[in-house]
Amino acid sequence: MTQPVLTLRGISKHYGPLQVLKSVSLDVHPGEVVALLGENGAGKSTLSGIIAGSRAPSEGTMTWLGQPYAPATPREAIDKGVVLIHQELKLLPQLSIAENVFIGRWPTRNGVVDRAEMERRAQEQLSRLNLHIPASRKVAGLSTANQQLIEIAKALALDAKLLILDEPTAALGGAETEALFEQVRKLRAEGVGIIYISHRMEEIKKITDRIVVLRDGERVQEFADSATPVRTVVESMVGRSLDRLFPPVPVPTERPVLQVSNLTSAMNAFRDVSFEVHAGEILGIAGLVGAGRTELVRAIAGADPVKAGTIRLNGDVLKLRDPADAIAKGIVLVPEDRKDQGLVVAHKISENLIYANLDKLGSRWITAGLKKAFAEKAIATFNVKGRAEQHASDLSGGNQQKIVIAKWLMRDPKVVVLDEPTRGIDVGARAGIYDIIVNLARQGVAVIVVSSDLEEVLGVSNRILVLAQGNQAGILNREQANDVSVMELATI
Amino acid sequence: MVALDINGQAKPSGTWRKKLSGATGPLVGLLALCIFLGFSTDAFFSLRNGLNILDQITVIGIMAVGMTFVILIGGIDLSVGSVLALSMMVMGWTANIAGLPLGLAIAVALLASAVSGLIVGLLVTVFRVPAFIATLAMMSAARGVANMITDGQQIVGFPDWFMMLAIDRHFGVLTATVFLMLFVVLIAWLFLHYRAEGRMLYAVGGNPEVARLAGINVQFVTIAVYVVSAVLAGLAGIVLAARLDSVQPSSGFGYELDTIAAVVIGGTSLSGGAGGIGGTLIGVLIIGVLRNGLNLLNVSPFLQQVIIGVVIVLAVGAETMRRRRA
Rounded to 5°, angle at Cα A478 from A475 and A480: 70
* Domain assignment of residue B179, yes or no: yes
Beta strands in A314-426 (DSSP E): 316-318, 331-334, 415-419
Neighbours of B303 (CB within 10 A): 10
- Residue A341: closest CA among chain B residues belongs to which residue? B210
Contact between B6 and A394 using a beta-carbon 8 Å cutoff: no
Contact B214 A17 (CB under 8 A): no
Residue of B103, B76, B105 whose CA lies nearest to B93? B105
Has residue B250 been placed in a domain?
yes
Residues 6 or more apart whose Cβ sits within 8 Å of residue B319 = B22, B25, B26, B267
Taking residues B265-271, what's their average pLDDT? 89
Q: Which of B206, B212, B215 comes nearest A347 by C-beta?
A: B206
Determine the average pLDDT of the residues in B278-294.
94
ipTM over 0.85: no
Q: State how far residue A330 is from chain B, nearest Cα, in angstroms.
A: 11
Q: Is residue B255 part of a domain?
A: yes
At B22, the pLDDT band (50, 70, 90 cuts) reads: low
Q: What does the alpha-carbon distance between residue A366 and residue A363 come to, in Å, rounded to a whole number?
A: 7
For residue A365, give the nearest of B194, B210, B215 by CB distance. B194
Summarised one tens digit per residue, pLDDT across range B170-179 is 887 889 999 9
Answer yes or no: is B225 within a domain. yes
- Point out the least confidently predicted range of A195-199, B6-10, B175-179, B311-315: B6-10
Cα separation of A485 and A181, whole Å?
22
Q: Do domains A6-238 and A256-490 have the same CATH topology?
A: yes
Q: How far is A40 from chain B (nearest CA, A)?
A: 16
Chain A contact set for B206 (CB, 8 A):
344, 346-347
Domain limits for position B99: 51-325
Q: What does the DSSP 8-state code read for residue A250?
A: P
Contact A361, B196 (CB under 8 A): yes
> DSSP for A311-331?
EEETTEEE--SSHHHHHHHTE
A344-374 tens-digit pLDDT: 999 999 999 999 988 887 777 888 888 888 8
Contact assessment for residue A463 and residue A477, using Cβ atoms and an 8 Å cutoff: yes
Provide the pairing of β-strand A193-197 with A273-278.
unpaired
What backbone torsions phi and psi does residue A403 show, to the nearest 5 degrees? -65, -40
Band of residue B185 on the pLDDT scale cut at 50, 70, 90: very high
Q: Does the beta-carbon distance from B213 to A333 stay under 8 Å?
A: yes
Q: Which residue of B has its CA nearest to A330?
A: B215
Q: Angle CA(A14)–CA(A16)–CA(A22) in degrees, nearest 5? A: 20
Highest mean pLDDT: which range of A112-121, A181-190, A425-434, B259-268: B259-268
At the fourth CATH level, the homologous superfamily of domain A256-490 is: P-loop containing nucleotide triphosphate hydrolases (3.40.50.300)
Is B254 a member of any domain?
yes
Residue of A nearest to B205 (CA): A344
**Taking the domains of chain A in order of start, what are their residue ranges?**
6-238, 256-490
pLDDT recorded at residue B19: 47
Mean pLDDT score of chain A: 87
Total domains present in chain B: 1
Average pLDDT over residues A405-411: 88
In a domain, B40, yes or no: no
Q: How many angstroms separate the Cα of B223 from the Cα of each of A33, A301, B108, B234?
A: 54, 24, 20, 16
Average pLDDT over residues A238-259: 82
Q: Choose which CATH entry (3.40.50.10700, 3.40.50.300, 3.20.20.100, 3.30.2130.10) describes domain A6-238.
A: 3.40.50.300
Using a CB-CB cut-off of 8 Å, the residues of chain A touching B214 are: 323, 327, 355-356, 407
- Whether residue A327 and residue B215 make contact (CB cut-off 8 A), yes or no, is yes
Each residue of A199-214: pLDDT tens digit?
777 788 888 999 999 8
Please state, for a pLDDT cut of 70, what percent of chain A lies above it.
Answer: 97
* Amino acid letter, residue B172: G
Q: Is the pLDDT of residue B11 over 50?
A: no
Question: Which of helix, strand or coil describes residue A458?
Answer: helix
Inter-chain touch A323–B211, beta carbons under 8 Å: no
Q: What are A460-478's pLDDT values in tens digits?
A: 999 999 998 899 999 999 9
Amino acid at A430: R
Write out chain A residues lying below 8 Å of B273, CB-based.
344, 346-347
- Section B63-73 average pLDDT: 97
Residue in A337, A347, A395 to test binding to B, most B beta-carbons within 10 Å: A347
Phi first, then psi: what are they for A439, rounded to 5°?
Answer: -65, -35
More confident residue, A86 or B282: B282
In a mutational test of the A interface, the residue from B6, B210, B268 whose CB has the highest number of chain A CBs within 10 Å is B210
pTM for the predicted model, two decimal places: 0.78
To the nearest whole number, what is the mean pLDDT of chain B?
A: 89
Residue B2 in any domain: the answer is no
pLDDT band for position B8 (50/70/90)?
very low
- pLDDT at res. A333: 95
Residue A43 pLDDT exceeds 70 = yes
Q: Confidence class of residue B181 from pLDDT cuts 50, 70 and 90?
A: very high
- The CATH number given to whatever domain includes residue B132 is 1.10.3470
pLDDT digits (tens, 9 = 90+) for A336-350: 988 889 999 999 999
Percent of chain B with pLDDT over 70: 92
Residue B14 lies in a domain: no
Q: Are the Cβ atoms of A366 and B202 closer than 8 angstroms?
A: no
Q: Does B216 touch chain A (CB under 8 A)?
A: yes
